[in-house]
Amino acid sequence: MISIPTLKRPLLSFLLFFFSFNIISSQCPTGQIFNNYCYDDNEVDNVAFEVCPTAGMAVQSDIIQGSFFVGTGDNLTVYSGTSGSGTSGVIVFGPMGGNLMGTMDIESLGADQCLIFVINSNTFGAPVSCADGTELELQVCSVSIPVAAVTFTAPADLCINAGVQTGLGGGFPTGGVYSGAGVTDDGNGMTYSFDPAAAGVGTITITYTNGVSASDDVEVFAVPTVSFSAPTDLCIDAGIMTGLGGGTPVGGVYSGPGVTDNGNGLTYSFNPVIAGLGMHTITYTEGICGASAMDIVEVLAACGCPSGELTYFNCYDNNETDLVIFEVCPNAGEFSKATISQGTYGVPDDALTVYQGVSGTGIGGTIVFGPSD
């Protein structure tokens, strides 16, 4: 008969723990750290455990098992932060309920940042949790990983009057802090604001720090002094004026009634017919900060005839039928004589007809010219 010695309770407990731990931890690849937690009811922002990396590295975790009852809002949230920071870090996963098995590659945000696993569970209704056997225990495998190279790209150069630029980023990996003149970090590890007026004119260095640092420059431009001189006043029948300029500094855009910018930052054209009679404001807007200058040109009545003769002018449009464009009336007891100094009409539909008659008769008079195109 073989007798089996009775194990003392402390030794038995140790052996059970030893074999249980090795069975569970064997689920993690060699070199990885195993953590587990079985949650209960009424846990509010409870830190189940935190996983911290080797100095100078980040940490990556995979959930190999774990479920949370969604019917009562049970969930897991993982934060990235320094050891002991609890829920004050940056959320990198969750809050999430249900079966989380197979959730991979949860990473801390930068060097020496831990992953902090936080539980929230039912505080009302029927208790359902891991502790009562309803949900699966949370089991996590973790490993230290090299910190990704920190890079940063500053925003495009801008003017001092551009206003506060919000929601900027450009730092990788996320989780760091932005700093520099005119910079306000948003505290979320991802974005910042930049105020060019606070930074001032010149080259500004912005730095992104996430374990190590990366920097880039943005230039803040002063608003230039803009000047512009409009062309001299002209008659409506002067024709299109081309190759006009007068705006400094060069590189801007001309605009206004009758104005066509040439897109070269130097010149524009002005059509007095399109502008029409009267005073017109032409604006020159420089191309960097949007500052502008304005001047006025006056379009006068037609003046292409010799001194002592009246000038009449018309620029016809489409869909004009028997339209009286003007009438020429003599002094009392005299007759009228008209000379067409210029004018073209498209073939075959457009034509000019001249009638003789008393003022206001329109096409009721006698044709003395045309219709001609």
- 176: buried, middle or exposed (CB in 10 Å: 19+, 13-18, 0-12)? buried
Evaluate whether 36 touches 63 at the Cβ level (below 8 Å): no
Evaluate whether 347 touches 373 at the Cβ level (below 8 Å): yes
**What is the sign, positive or negative, of the torsion defined by CA atoms of 352, 353, 359, 363?**
negative
List the chain residues with pLDDT less than 50.
Answer: 1-25
What is the spatial distance between Cα 157 and Cα 287, in angstroms, rounded to a whole number?
13
In CATH, the architecture of 227-300 is Sandwich (2.60)
Q: What is the pLDDT of residues 233-261, one digit of tens each?
A: 999 888 999 999 999 999 999 999 999 99
Q: Which two tokens stand for residue 228?
A: 């512009």
Residue entry with tokens 């989380």: 100
- b/e per residue 243-261 (b: at least 16 CB within 10 A): ebbbbbeeebbbbbbbbbb
> Which strand (E) or helix (H) includes residue 50?
strand 46-51
Evaluate whether 348 touches 371 at the Cβ level (below 8 Å): no
Which of these, 262, 260, 312, 254, lies nearest to 286 by C-alpha position?
254
What is the spatial distance between Cα 110 and Cα 57, in angstroms, rounded to a whole number?
7
**Domains 151-221 and 227-300 equal at CATH topology level:** yes
Q: What is the predicted pLDDT for the residue at 125?
A: 61
Q: What is the predicted pLDDT for the residue at 355?
A: 80
> Which strand (E) or helix (H) includes residue 235?
strand 234-235
Instruction: Please state the CATH superfamily assignment of the domain spanning residues 151-221 in this structure.
Output: Immunoglobulins (2.60.40.10)
Torsion, Cα 53 58 64 69, to 10 degrees, reads 100
What is the spatial distance between Cα 52 and Cα 263, in angstroms, rounded to a whole number?
59
Parse the chain into domains and list their residue ranges: 23-145, 151-221, 227-300, 314-373
Q: What is the pTM of this model?
A: 0.50
Evaluate whether 371 touches 353 at the Cβ level (below 8 Å): yes
Query: What's the one-letter identity of residue 233?
Result: D
Helices (H), the chain: 9-25, 196-199, 272-275
Which of these, 116, 46, 118, 120, lies nearest to 81 by C-alpha position?
116
Q: What is the predicted pLDDT for the residue at 307?
A: 59
Q: What is the predicted pLDDT for the residue at 8?
A: 40
Q: What is the pLDDT of residues 152-189, one digit of tens each?
A: 999 999 999 999 999 999 998 888 899 999 999 999 99
Which of these, 67, 57, 138, lies nearest to 96 by C-alpha position?
67
Q: What is the predicted pLDDT for the residue at 322?
A: 77
The answer to whether domain 23-145 has CATH 2.60.120 is yes
Query: What's the one-letter identity of residue 28?
Result: C
Evaluate whether 280 touches 243 at the Cβ level (below 8 Å): no
Query: What's the one-letter identity of residue 220?
Result: V
Question: DSSP code of 156?
Answer: P
Q: What is the predicted pLDDT for the residue at 346?
A: 74
